[in-house]
Amino acid sequence: MVLKLLVSKDCGNLQMKSHQDHIKRVFESKKISFVEVDVGRPQTVKEKEKLLDMLLSPPQIFNGDINRGDYSTFLNALENEKLFEYLDINCPEEEVEYIYSQQMARGTD
């Protein structure tokens, strides 16, 4: 599955832009590959109709066609060291989240 980050590049809303940029910086720093989709400029008529049907406010994160959530759910997952679980992607072994999951599987703290 491909991670998609729905953004609005011409939004004019500083908070929205800040949230979008924060998600991108985290993805890039953790080497999480994603495709950025500008909801203000859909590529096809089908894509435009789909975005209108969803009535979602950017930023939104999708794994394939599954909506993983907005900025608040992203931030919650990040702060709780559950980002990869939230995104439903494999967690690299060097990530704290991976180490925590291994400890939990063994039943240790």
Instruction: List, in order, residues 6 or more apart from 56 with CB less than 8 Å away.
Output: 6, 39, 67, 70
Distance of CA 37 to the CA centre of its chain: 12
As given in the structure block, the two tokens for residue 66 are 């599954």
| Residue ranges covered by each domain of the chain | 3-106
Confidence at residue 100, expressed as pLDDT on a 0 to 100 scale: 82
- Calpha distance 7→92 (Å, rounded): 26
pLDDT digits (tens, 9 = 90+) for 9-38: 877 789 999 999 999 999 999 999 999 988
Per-residue pLDDT, 41: 67
Question: Residue 49 has which token pair?
Answer: 């109709």
R_g of the chain, CA atoms, integer Å: 15
Crossing angle between the packed helical segments 71-79 and 14-29, to the nearest 10 degrees = 40
The model carries a pTM of: 0.82
What does CATH list as the number for 3-106? 3.40.30.10
Instruction: Measure the CA–CA gap between 85 and 109, rounded to whole angstroms.
Output: 19
The predicted structure's pLDDT at residue 9: 85
The residue ranges of the chain whose pLDDT is under 50 are none
